[in-house]
Structure 1
């Protein structure tokens, strides 16, 4: 009798493994359901379908917005979206590996190999150049519109096939499946959609943003704080004939950054107080352009006067130009090109916060991107962290399928959580401390940070390590 049982176990265990790691057959049941049609969600769908190991998994992606316009996106070169990201070499490498980079509209991307960063109070400066990286990486980063990445991923998914994209549809409720005959799906997440459908998932992926319904369903807490700062973004027309450089100046209210785009355009990300953000959005294009130029050139005293004195409409430009005319002209070669025009309708703002989920996974649940973590934009790491999550989770699922594991089991997901949680925790902490360090406007800390910045600028080895870390080259 014992031999018969043992023999049965030996035969059935491999069959059970195959059952757990192969696609489910019913129309309303999927191996993987991804909630969220942003870069992280689409990236994971494309990655899974691009691999021969995971391509047979049955996948659905649910998104509340219309993805059709992103798929057929056809912009003109006279305008750029204000939703722009700085892709690290590691993120570009991932998009190439899954075949999405071939679908990027390359004429709308702008790589840069020089970044100038300086303290707005003391003028202490650090310069990053790609010479510190290997010849394999000719750029520090590549500026790309988020729409361009979504467009590329949607077209790559369409090329690969096998992902059921359910857009213009919201998740109404998340619960659990039921027992049906000999099969027990009571541990599988079940989604009720606004179109009346019900989807049951072996694995549910939350790529649904900072207010993630998937994370709420798992009861995983997300902890952090608001910065009482807003990020003001805009698309700028700038002087041409200057080298392609990214510029960032740390002001006491927050950093102001100008990132290059093709055809004489640039994108602005200005972190400041909510009150000033409201003023920046409300003022005329001419005054706004003048204040952006002043933000890179005038002293904190001058800027505070312009912020607080409340110059009348049209006088901001006049005040800025007069104050710039009396500023010493030293180091002008280190200043960014002047803004000559603001693209209509491109100004917007959003509140800044830091959040980190207590865990990235639970049984049959995984969180990626903003659903797992959000950070201050000063280092341009948010979307890059999300793509690193995608790569790590994809590799974990690929390994699970290879070894006959259930892709929704906690054992299959733990390698992803183990790899990414600590990595993101370190990055979030470093960015948070950098924000707080440069928010100080007086005292010995200002002198100490300026001295430290100039010392690091002279230590090529240390600067190289920092660049590799930010560019994601250490972990790949």
Structure 2
């Protein structure tokens, strides 16, 4: 009996060890993407939509639930969400022709616009207007406003509509616990191992970080990211205008505290992105909802001395209704024809719960690739939102990386090797760096009221506004069509 018990114990122990060993063996994949934001979903959809790379075994890991994104596609909310971005014609073309996701966008919630007007709070005559009519061959639009969740929903629908034979794995509600290099003597010696919160381990030929500013993938690859915080916050909100603005204009006013942009959506809807100091951002978030629309109107039209007076009153009491009379009195000093022709339509309402703020920063990775690792989107770079190029830079990353992988596959190369990946960095990094530098310099130039700089920038805006050929080049650069 004792021998039988020993044999049974040995068998049971051996079986447990065997099961544990089997469980610990990582699942092999060609591509693992960490992050289910627009960049991560775009990369997954593009790889599976390409006839060259559709055979690759791909897995996307997202820490939060994707169910709200699926729900948006089936039953979108009545009001716009507050995370809205501007898509360039190049990004729209990529989503249409390469990914095939544009047809899944909720078209009733996208707004094409073809004009941008930027003006200076320190000099009323200093303004510049961009007309997208020079892009007539590309549909005649300068950019498209769309909600982040609409973009994600279209990408997810495109992925889930793919042939089951090429459909990738998507693991949501799953966090990355650790990323490790394989032990010496492993059958696949240099493929990264991703350990997940569901107990699964995946070993991958190529690991892609689409996992944001604090990217674990970037840290695993020991890629340095350099930059700085701006000591500024971006305040976003969804608003209602007095009526629909058929002029189809994106407005931006440069204030010394940071630029305020009011961007068109469908019908009378619009969204704002207000870059502000930490103190002002608190005021903007706490201000009574009945006051906030008039505060936006004031910031778009009044001089900064008046604005500072109003801010101080709201700092003391966010519910001080007397500021409404202050704003109205100061606006009566402006000509009605000037307000109607040269400024946005009045804001009449802020959507409840739509106000939010986030810190502004600049960061740029030293490189976008390492052996068996690539970075896209915010994992590679973050930029000041004044030019609205953050998501478009990420889309450019994805398009370039997919192109590099396709070339590698066609040449029979290992898609995780530096020979395949390095062309992606050389293609994207310089252009992204230059654009980030321009945004940074614009922020610094316009965030001052020092008279000599105010004079020079005002003279520059007035002069530039007279040269349509130069503005056309700038438009093509902004739209990604240069």
Q: Tell me the TM-score normalised to structure 2 length.
A: 0.90
Alpha carbons of structure 1 residues 128 and 75: separation in structure 2 relative to 1, 3 Å: farther
Residue 105 of structure 2: aligned partner: 104
Structure 1 alignment gaps of length 5 or more: 1-25
Residue 171 of structure 2: aligned partner: 166
**Alpha-carbon contact 1:178-1:185 (below 8 Å) kept:** no
Kindly state the Cα deviation for residue 155 of structure 1 after the two structures are TM-superposed: 0.6
1:229 and 2:228 are equivalent in the alignment:
no
SS at match of 1:267: strand
Within a 5 Å distance, the mapping from 1:147-186 to structure 2 comes to 147-160=149-162, 161=164, 162-178=167-183, 184-186=187-189
1:297 and 2:301 are equivalent in the alignment:
yes
Distance 1:35 1:47 in 2: 15
Alpha carbons of structure 1 residues 218 and 376: separation in structure 2 relative to 1, 3 Å: same
**Alpha-carbon contact 1:132-1:460 (below 8 Å) kept:** no
SS at match of 2:230: strand
**Alpha-carbon contact 1:235-1:343 (below 8 Å) kept:** yes
Kindly state the Cα deviation for residue 178 of structure 1 after the two structures are TM-superposed: 4.5
Structure 1, 286-295 or 239-248: larger mean CA deviation: 239-248
Pick the aligned partner of 2:460 from 430, 452, 474. Answer: 452
1:248 and 2:237 are equivalent in the alignment:
no
SS at match of 1:156: helix
Distance 2:307 2:342 in 1: 19
**Alpha-carbon contact 1:71-1:152 (below 8 Å) kept:** no
Q: Tell me the TM-score normalised to structure 1 length.
A: 0.91
SS at match of 1:72: helix
Within a 5 Å distance, the mapping from 1:120-131 to structure 2 comes to 120-123=121-124, 124-131=126-133
Kindly state the Cα deviation for residue 433 of structure 1 after the two structures are TM-superposed: 0.3
1:136 and 2:141 are equivalent in the alignment:
no
**Alpha-carbon contact 1:94-1:391 (below 8 Å) kept:** yes
SS at match of 1:150: helix
Residue 373 of structure 1: aligned partner: 381
Within a 5 Å distance, the mapping from 1:281-430 to structure 2 comes to 281-310=285-314, 312=317, 313=319, 314-329=321-336, 331-332=338-339, 333-430=341-438
Alpha carbons of structure 1 residues 410 and 76: separation in structure 2 relative to 1, 3 Å: closer
Structure 1, 259-268 or 370-379: larger mean CA deviation: 259-268
Kindly state the Cα deviation for residue 318 of structure 1 after the two structures are TM-superposed: 2.3
Residues 370-398 of structure 1: per-residue CA shift (max 9 Å, x gap): 00000000000000000000000000000
Structure 2 alignment gaps of length 5 or more: 1-24
Kindly state the Cα deviation for residue 442 of structure 1 after the two structures are TM-superposed: 2.1
Structure 1, 130-139 or 366-375: larger mean CA deviation: 130-139
Kindly state the Cα deviation for residue 159 of structure 1 after the two structures are TM-superposed: 1.2
Would you say how many aligned residue pairs link Structure 1 and Structure 2? Answer: 447
Residue 68 of structure 1: aligned partner: 67
Structure 1, 453-462 or 386-395: larger mean CA deviation: 453-462
Alpha carbons of structure 1 residues 418 and 294: separation in structure 2 relative to 1, 3 Å: same
1:192 and 2:177 are equivalent in the alignment:
no
Residue 263 of structure 1: aligned partner: 267
**Alpha-carbon contact 2:252-2:262 (below 8 Å) kept:** yes
SS at match of 2:302: coil
Distance 2:388 2:253 in 1: 14
Distance 1:315 1:340 in 2: 17
Distance 2:133 2:143 in 1: 13
Alpha carbons of structure 1 residues 76 and 163: separation in structure 2 relative to 1, 3 Å: closer
Residues 425-457 of structure 1: per-residue CA shift (max 9 Å, x gap): 101101000000001112211111111111111
Distance 1:340 1:184 in 2: 65
**Alpha-carbon contact 1:77-1:263 (below 8 Å) kept:** no
Kindly state the Cα deviation for residue 261 of structure 1 after the two structures are TM-superposed: 0.8
SS at match of 1:469: helix
**Alpha-carbon contact 1:407-1:413 (below 8 Å) kept:** yes
Kindly state the Cα deviation for residue 76 of structure 1 after the two structures are TM-superposed: 4.9
Kindly state the Cα deviation for residue 177 of structure 1 after the two structures are TM-superposed: 2.8
Distance 1:184 1:134 in 2: 56
Distance 1:393 1:86 in 2: 22
Distance 1:84 1:406 in 2: 38
Structure 1, 323-332 or 157-166: larger mean CA deviation: 323-332
Residues 347-380 of structure 1: per-residue CA shift (max 9 Å, x gap): 0000000000011000000000000000000000
Distance 1:342 1:48 in 2: 40
Pick the aligned partner of 1:438 from 423, 431, 446. Answer: 446
Residue 275 of structure 1: aligned partner: 279
Residue 80 of structure 2: aligned partner: 80
